[in-house]
A and B are shown apart, each in its own frame.
Chain A
Amino acid sequence: DGGITQSPKYLFRKEGQNVTLSCEQNLNHDAMYWYRQDPGQGLRLIYYSQIVNDFQKGDIAEGYSVSREKKESFPLTVTSAQKNPTAFYLCASSFSGNTEAFFGQGTRLTVV
């Protein structure tokens, strides 16, 4: 069953702790993305990666880090430096070029 999978669906963390969100795809896509979705602000790009071992900052990268050690995986770490981490996080992937992005179901992170 092909697709893009995010886990967990819900995540609760204490303030000051780092937390890593998982994103895996078996679509053989080259590019992967992380977006943050907040009410009234749409999707804002955090990081994206066009190829293994390479990634670029998006518009709101501060307080986040990523890695792309495998083509299938693009984990996002929300660090303690992120001032307002509570949000809904969406991962996506696509082939290179002008192709559509496929999205995961999302992870809702709540920091208490």
Chain B
Amino acid sequence: AQRVTQPEKLLSVFKGAPVELKCNYSYSGSPELFWYVQYSRQRLQLLLRHISRESIKGFTADLNKGETSFHLKKPFAQEEDSAMYYCALRGSGGFKTIFGAGTRLFVKA
């Protein structure tokens, strides 16, 4: 069965500290992995996807098929990074996208 697990409901860090939001998945095949972000009073929007291997707003995420993980990382957190982050999975060639429970990141000044 497809499953996305985000073990942390809340993550609080100081400005300038490194941050890592964990995401583990379960899927029998080659999945497409995404990170979505929801800032306060804004729509849920794509942050990055593993296939593009890009860095957005200083965030990166590497797909580790051995550990079935797709953790989101940023070396120096900023206050404007405070938001709700969702890890999502889509089966290759499919449309069904499932989401994790989300992690709320709070960056303190």
Contact = CB atoms under 8 A, between A and B. Distances in A.
Interface of A: 31, 33, 35, 40-45, 48, 50, 56, 58-59, 90, 92, 94, 96, 98, 100-105
Contact of A98 (B86, B90, B102): B90
Contact of A45 (B6, B49, B97, B102): B97
Given A42-B86, A43-B86, A98 B32 contact: yes
Interface residues of B, number: 22
B49 A43 contact: no
SS of A interface (majority): strand
Interface of B: 4, 6, 9, 32, 34, 43-46, 49, 51, 86, 90, 92, 95-102
Contact of A96 (B34, B95, B99): B95
Nearest to B47: A100
A98 B99 contact: no
Given A42-B86, A100-B34, A103-B43, A31 B95 contact: yes
A95 to B, nearest CB: 10
Contacts of B95: 31, 33, 48, 50, 94, 96
